[in-house]
Amino acid sequence: MTPADRRPRPRNLQQRSTLAGEAAAAATEVESALTPPSDPGAAAFFDVDNTVMQGASIFHLARGLHRRNFFTTRDILGAAWKQAYFRVVGVEDPEHVAEARSSALSFIAGHTVAELEELGEEIFDEGMAHRIWPGTRALAQLHLDEGQRVWLVTAAPIEIAQIIARRLGLTGAMGTVSEHVDGVYTGQLVGDMLHGPAKGEAVKALAAREGLDLRRCSAYSDSYNDLPMLSLVGDPCAINPDARLRAHAREQGWRIRDYRTGRKALRAGLVAGGIAGAATGTVAAGLALRGRRR
């Protein structure tokens, strides 16, 4: 057997998605309320970007970290350009895909979990709190009032997702899990980013752990990419949907809620696959450039 044969084989997309989902479910915080929920078999799952919050949470995090000199403007623009080109042209360099997957979030390598959590609290106050959609927050509160638990499910780092959930009084959050050893980030992900199929895996893993009946659960998202999560539950709802999700929701008879103005909703539907989508998926991944230059 040659040395090449002994090297570990890369996991395929399904394996990475499953691992990312299971890691997110395992890392999620469960509510610390003294009394248990009165309806423990049902829950609600909310996407964050453009569903709970206007814009991409990873972008607001990146901007806040940029102001604190974590990386350069050139780094973030380079990452956004690669993804925007793919979204518009429809062709992505396979090397870019592999690079983004292997180095996503490595810009925090060497930093501590405590440091990111502390900065995350500051960044939420300065760049995220005022962007929460009141309508979506009211929907989440309705589930809480009915004695159900409410989790966020997002591609953003789980540390930031948990801050958002805590500030909104929700049960907990599932997000992308970055590996850390003794409280220091290694620059690697556990599995993949919590996106698309990985969100479905996270919800299934959490439901199994918490004894949830997914037929009685609800899920909310703005993106067609979240069909793996939306299709799992008995009560899916499209919030501020992109064009593909709106069409699918209408075909399936799903609820649709749009909290944008008419003009903003139209514009969002036309460019949902462009810059807005790019922000969540690869701004963080491209920020790894700084980590390699340090």
Confidence of residue 2 (pLDDT cuts 50, 70, 90): very low
Q: Which of 5, 39, 49, 75 is catalytic?
A: 49
Q: Which of 47, 75, 192, 226 is catalytic?
A: 47
Q: For residues 29 and 27, give the distance between their C-alpha atoms in angstroms, rounded to a whole number.
A: 6
Q: For residues 173 and 162, give the distance between their C-alpha atoms in angstroms, rounded to a whole number.
A: 5
Strand partners, 132: 53
Confidence of residue 195 (pLDDT cuts 50, 70, 90): confident
Has residue 199 got a pLDDT over 70? yes
Model confidence pLDDT, tens digit, residues 124-166: 999 899 999 999 999 999 999 999 999 999 988 888 999 999 9
75 catalytic residue (yes or no): no
Range with the lowest mean pLDDT among 78-82, 109-113, 171-175, 252-256? 78-82
Q: Is 105 left (phi over 0), alpha (psi -120 to 50) or beta?
A: left
Angle between helices 57-67 and 158-167 (to 10 degrees): 100
196 DSSP 8-state letter: T
The mean pLDDT of 189-214, rounded to a whole number, is 90
Buried b (16+ CB within 10 A) or exposed e, 60-81: bbbebbbeeebbeeebbeebbe
Query: Which secondary structure element, helix H or strand E, spans residue 189, and what is its range?
Result: strand 184-189
47 catalytic residue (yes or no): yes
Angstrom distances, CA of residue 30 to CA of 132, 150, 172, 173: 22, 10, 6, 9
Model confidence pLDDT, tens digit, residues 37-62: 789 999 999 999 999 999 888 888 88
Token pair of 281, please?
A: 């998926």
CB atoms within 10 A of CB 38: 8
Token pair of 13, please?
A: 């997309």
Q: What is the pLDDT of residue 101?
A: 47
Q: What is the pLDDT of residue 107?
A: 67
End-to-end Cα distance, the chain? 37
CB atoms within 10 A of CB 205: 19
pTM, two decimal places: 0.75
Report the greatest alpha carbon distance in the chain: 63
User: Residue type at 233?
Assistant: V
